[in-house]
C-alpha cells in the first residue's frame, strides 16, 4: 500500500508552444534528474530539451511522441508523461490519457485557451480525470488574470480555484502570492536558479517593502475578491474532477513551478482503479495486471529495438516472472524491463501500480494488449480513430524493399498512422490524422531504416470499418465498391469513401451494414 500511495502518474498537455516541454524540464530540475535545463529554442546552447529525443523533434523544436520520465521528489515517486501538443499527433496524446491518474494543463497567459486544449479537456471530462491548470509566461504581457479565469471556466467547462496569484505581469511582473501556503515568492528572471520565498503577512506593512504600495494594495484587493467569488478550496472537488486548481508562473524562468509541484504531490490522486471489460481492477490487488498503451521503435538508434510501454494497473510487476499475453494466450517473460528518463533507461527488478515499464518488443505486442498472471482480462478504451488524410506509399529505392516494409510495419505498430491495402490494385495506403505525420514517417524511414519512400496523391474522404450479419448484403456491397475496398493490418474490411456524399448514400442504401469510425468495435 505504501508503494501505491506514494505514486503520482500524470500527463502534461497543452496547445503547441504553451511551454509544456519547458515545464517538464523544470519539474525534472526540482526532482534532481537534470542539473541544467536545456534551453529548447536557443541556438547558442546546443542542448535541446531532455524529453524530446527524436532527431526530428530537436530540429523542429516540437514534441512528436509522448516521452516518459520518472523521478523521486520528497517522499513521492513521480511519473511524468510529456505529450505532443501538435494536433497532428493528438492520437498519441489521447492514448496517453488512458494511462494517467491526473493531468496538468499548460495555458499561455497571452493566448488563453486554444482549440487543441479544448479537445484534450473533452477527453479528461469523459474519463473524469482530475486537472490542475498552470498559466504560463506571466513574465510577458498577457490577459488580465480574472478574465483568464472566466475564459477557463467557459471554454473548458470546469470550475476553477486559483491557488497562487500574480503580482502584475510582463515587465512589471514582481512575483506570485502562494494562496495555498500563504507566502510570497519574489521574481528574479533566471533560467537556471530557483527563486526565493518570503514569509509575509498579507496585512502587515512588510508587503509594501517588497512589492511597493500600489501593487500591495492591488494584491490585497484581488485576494479579497478571490475569496468572495470562489469557494474555499476543497481537495475532494478536485479529485472528483469538478474543480481545477490554477497556478500562475513562468516555466522558462523557473518561476511558480515549485509551488505547483509541492501542491501537486500533496493533493494529486495516487493510482486509481481501472475499468476492464470483465470487471473493475483495483490497484491494491495481489496479482499483476497491466496494459500496453504505446509502442516506440528505435529509442536507441544503434539497436533497432522496439519498446512497448506498459502501465501497471494492479499487483507488482517482477522481472523474469511469466505473464500471460491475453490476446495471443502465450506466456511471456522479460529479462530486461526498463524505466525511463526520456532516452536514458535503467533496468528494474520490480514495478508497482502507477509505474510505466518499458518492455523490449520484437513484434509481440499491439497497442491495447493486456498482461496478467493468468486471468482473461481486456482493458478498454484505446481507440484508433478513422484517418482523414490519405496517400499511397511507394518505394523510392527498389534495392531497399525489405527495409521499407520492416520500417512501415514497425511504425504502424507504434500507432503513428494506419496502413490499408487496396483490394483492387494491391497498393499500400497510409492514413493519418494530420499532415505532419507524413513528414515524420518519411523522415524516420530514411534515418532509422535507411529506406526511401515517396508519396502519391489519392483523393479519399474517410476510412470506415464495416461489418454485417447479412453475408449476402456484405458481399454485394464489396462487389459494388470493389475499387474502394481495402483491408487493415488485422485483415478487417475497410471502406475508403471518396466523398461525404458517397458515404451517406452507402449508409442509406445498405441498411444492414454497420459503418464504424474507430477500430475498437
Question: In the structure, what pLDDT confidence band is assigned to residue 37 with cuts at 50, 70 and 90?
Answer: very low
Q: What pTM was estimated for this model as a whole? A: 0.73
Q: Give the least confident one: 256-270, 370-384, 436-450.
A: 370-384
Half-sphere exposure of 228 (CA within 13 A, CB side): 6
Is the pLDDT at 34 greater than 60, yes or no? Answer: no
Q: DSSP labels for 207-222?
A: HHHHH-HHHHHHHHHH
Q: Which CATH class is domain 2-69+82-267?
A: alpha beta
Burial 113-147 (b: 16+ CB within 10 A, else e): bbebbeebbebbeeeebbbbbbbbbbbeebbebee
Question: Measuring CA to CA, which residue among 364, 384, 503 is closest to residue 433?
Answer: 384
**Could you check whether 274-372 and 389-516 share the same CATH topology?**
no
Q: Where are the alpha helices (DSSP H) in 39-164?
A: 55-60, 90-97, 115-127, 145-156
- DSSP assigned state of 482: G
- Cα(477)–Cα(264) distance, integer angstroms: 54
| Percent of the chain surpassing pLDDT 70 | 81
Integer CA distances (angstroms), 82 to 263, 270, 487, 504, in order: 19, 18, 33, 39
Q: Are 215 and 235 a contacting pair, CB within 8 Å?
A: no
What pLDDT digit, counting tens, does each position of 219-231 carry?
Answer: 888 888 888 888 8
- Cα(288)–Cα(496) distance, integer angstroms: 41
**Residue 43, number of CB atoms within 10 A of its CB:** 6
Q: Give the least confident one: 80-94, 132-146, 385-399, 420-434.
A: 80-94
Query: Which pLDDT does position 477 carry in this prediction?
Result: 92
Q: DSSP labels for 322-380?
A: -EEETTTTEEE--S--EEEETTEEEE-SEE-TT-EEEEEESS---TT-EEESS----B-
Question: In the structure, what pLDDT confidence band is assigned to residue 299 with cuts at 50, 70 and 90?
Answer: low
Q: Give the least confident one: 66-80, 175-189, 221-235.
A: 175-189
> Sign of torsion, CA 238 354 326 465?
positive
- Averaged pLDDT score across all residues of the chain: 79
Helix, strand, or coil here: 260? helix
What pLDDT digit, counting tens, does each position of 106-126 carry?
Answer: 888 888 888 777 877 877 887
Query: Which pLDDT does position 216 carry in this prediction?
Result: 81
- Structural domain boundaries in the chain: 2-69+82-267, 274-372, 389-516
Is the pLDDT at 7 greater than 50, yes or no? Answer: yes
- DSSP assigned state of 13: E
Integer CA distances (angstroms), 106 to 23, 40, 117, 120, 179, in order: 8, 17, 9, 12, 19
Third-level CATH fold of 389-516: Alpha-Beta Plaits (3.30.70)
Third-level CATH fold of 274-372: Rossmann fold (3.40.50)
Q: Where are the alpha helices (DSSP H) in 358-457?
A: 401-413, 435-449
> Which of 178-192, 269-283, 306-320, 470-484 has the highest mean predicted lDDT (pLDDT)?
470-484
Query: Which pLDDT does position 91 carry in this prediction?
Result: 63
- Cα(261)–Cα(253) distance, integer angstroms: 15
Cell of 432: 493519418
Which whole number is the average pLDDT over 443-447? 83
Amino acid at each position: 500500500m505504501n508503494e501505491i500511495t506514494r505514486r503520482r502518474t500524470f500527463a502534461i498537455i497543452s496547445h503547441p508552444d504553451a511551454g509544456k516541454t519547458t515545464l517538464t524540464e523544470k519539474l525534472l530540475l526540482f526532482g534532481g534528474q537534470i542539473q541544467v535545463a536545456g534551453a529548447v529554442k536557443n541556438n547558442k546552447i546546443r542542448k535541446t530539451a531532455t524529453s524530446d529525443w527524436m532527431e526530428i523533434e530537436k530540429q523542429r523544436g516540437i514534441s512528436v511522441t509522448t516521452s516518459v520520465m520518472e523521478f523521486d521528489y520528497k517522499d513521492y515517486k513521480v511519473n511524468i508523461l510529456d505529450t505532443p501538443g501538435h494536433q497532428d499527433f493528438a492520437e498519441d496524446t489521447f492514448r496517453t490519457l488512458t494511462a494517467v491518474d491526473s493531468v496538468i494543463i499548460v495555458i499561455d497567459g497571452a493566448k488563453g485557451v486554444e482549440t487543441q486544449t479544448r479537445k484534450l479537456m473533452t477527453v479528461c471530462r469523459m474519463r473524469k480525470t482530475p486537472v490542475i491548470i498552470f498559466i504560463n509566461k506571466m513574465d510577458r504581457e498577457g490577459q488580465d488574470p480574472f478574465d483568464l479565469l472566466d475564459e477557463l471556466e467557459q471554454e473548458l467547462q470546469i470550475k476553477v480555484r486559483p491557488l497562487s496569484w500574480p503580482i502584475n505581469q510582463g515587465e512589471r511582473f514582481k512575483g506570485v502570492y502562494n494562496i495555498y501556503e500563504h507566502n510570497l515568492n519574489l521574481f528574479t528572471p533566471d533560467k537556471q536558479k530557483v527563486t526565493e520565498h518570503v514569509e509575509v503577512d498579507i496585512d502587515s506593512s512588510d508587503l509594501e517593502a517588497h512589492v511597493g504600495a500600489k501593487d500591495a494594495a492591488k494584491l490585497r484587493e484581488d485576494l479579497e475578491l478571490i475569496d468572495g467569488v470562489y469557494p474555499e478550496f476543497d481537495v475532494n472537488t478536485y479529485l472528483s474532477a469538478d474543480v481545477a486548481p490554477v497556478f500562475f508562473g513562468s516555466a522558462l524562468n523557473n518561476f511558480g513551478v515549485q509551488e505547483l509541484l509541492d501542491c501537486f504531490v500533496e493533493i494529486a490522486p495516487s493510482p486509481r482503479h481501472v475499468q476492464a471489460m470483465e470487471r473493475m481492477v483495483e490497484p491494491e490487488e495481489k496479482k499483476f495486471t497491466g496494459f500496453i498503451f504505446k509502442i516506440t521503435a528505435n529509442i536507441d538508434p544503434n539497436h533497432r529495438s522496439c519498446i512497448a510501454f506498459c502501465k501497471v494497473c494492479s499487483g507488482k510487476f517482477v522481472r523474469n516472472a511469466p505473464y500471460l499475453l491475453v490476446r495471443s494466450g502465450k506466456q511471456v517473460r522479460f529479462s530486461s524491463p526498463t524505466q525511463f528518463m526520456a532516452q536514458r533507461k535503467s533496468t528494474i527488478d520490480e514495478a508497482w501500480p502507477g509505474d510505466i515499464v518499458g518492455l523490449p518488443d520484437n513484434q509481440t505486442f499491439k497497442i491495447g494488449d493486456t498482461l496478467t498472471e493468468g486471468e482473461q482480462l481486456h482493458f478498454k478504451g484505446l481507440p484508433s480513430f478513422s484517418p482523414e488524410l490519405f496517400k499511397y506509399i511507394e518505394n523510392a529505392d527498389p534495392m531497399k524493399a525489405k527495409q521499407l516494409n520492416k520500417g512501415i510495419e514497425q511504425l504502424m505498430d507504434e500507432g503513428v498512422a494506419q496502413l490499408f491495402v487496396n483490394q483492387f490494385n494491391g497498393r499500400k495506403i497510409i492514413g493519418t490524422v494530420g499532415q505532419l505525420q507524413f513528414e515524420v514517417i518519411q523522415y524516420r524511414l530514411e534515418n532509422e531504416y535507411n529506406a526511401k519512400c515517396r508519396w502519391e496523391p489519392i483523393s479519399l474522404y474517410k476510412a470506415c470499418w464495416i461489418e454485417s450479419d447479412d453475408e449476402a448484403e456484405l458481399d454485394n456491397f464489396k462487389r459494388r465498391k470493389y475499387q474502394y475496398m481495402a483491408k487493415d493490418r488485422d485483415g478487417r474490411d475497410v471502406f475508403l469513401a471518396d466523398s461525404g456524399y458517397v458515404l451517406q448514400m452507402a449508409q442509406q442504401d445498405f441498411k444492414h451494414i454497420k459503418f464504424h469510425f474507430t477500430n475498437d468495435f
